[in-house]
Structure 1
Amino acid sequence: MTHYAIANLRNVRPNAGIVEYLERIDATLAPFGGHFIVHGGEPETIEGQWDGTLIVIEFPDHERARGWYDSPQYREILPLRTENSDGVAVLLAGVDRDHRATDVLE
């Protein structure tokens, strides 16, 4: 099942650390089949109040998503992000294309 690494970052402090993180993250994703499907951008808020920058990275399955996050290559650059931004990050399973809203009731 497709898995996603999702982060909502706030208070990103643009500096050399963030630049280095951005320059190095793609190489950490490749061995695990990960790729960005959302990477920031200005959202059109249609309800409520949005605070932050959304990042969504897709992986083929949970094992590769978790493997990426736990990998020595990613762990080496992780402090470049966490020390220069606030936010939350999660790993989350996707759903099949035939998923219906009521499936969560089962």
Structure 2
Amino acid sequence: MAHTLEGKVALILGGTRGIGGAISRRLAADGASVAMLYRSRSGEAEALAGEIGAEAIPADVADPAALLAAIDGVIARHGRIDILVNNAGTAIVGPLEDYPPDAFDRVFAVNVR
């Protein structure tokens, strides 16, 4: 039985590189309309969007207003979101006591909040 996502709208947070990029590629290959959020490396994001026929949207998921604006934009353009993948993540490598408080807050905001 063939699986198809034709007519489905997918929003991938952190969807332009690594695992998120692979998820975006697969969903697009299976027929979904894909919108990918990214925070940096706009050239890479736009290149992937062009390659797979997706939409690349700049948004910092740690900023609630930016995230809501991106979600609202996808809904305005596509009417809904059928598939949501929260693949955004960040980390700082090193001992916890060496984390500046603002860095810890950012990691928590992206990965948990």
What is the TM-score of this pair, normalised by structure 2?
Answer: 0.30
What is the TM-score of this pair, normalised by structure 1?
Answer: 0.31
Relative contact order (alpha carbons < 8 A, sep ≥ 6): 1 or 2 greater?
1
Instruction: Indicate the structure with greater helix content.
Output: 2
Instruction: Indicate the structure with greater strand content.
Output: 1
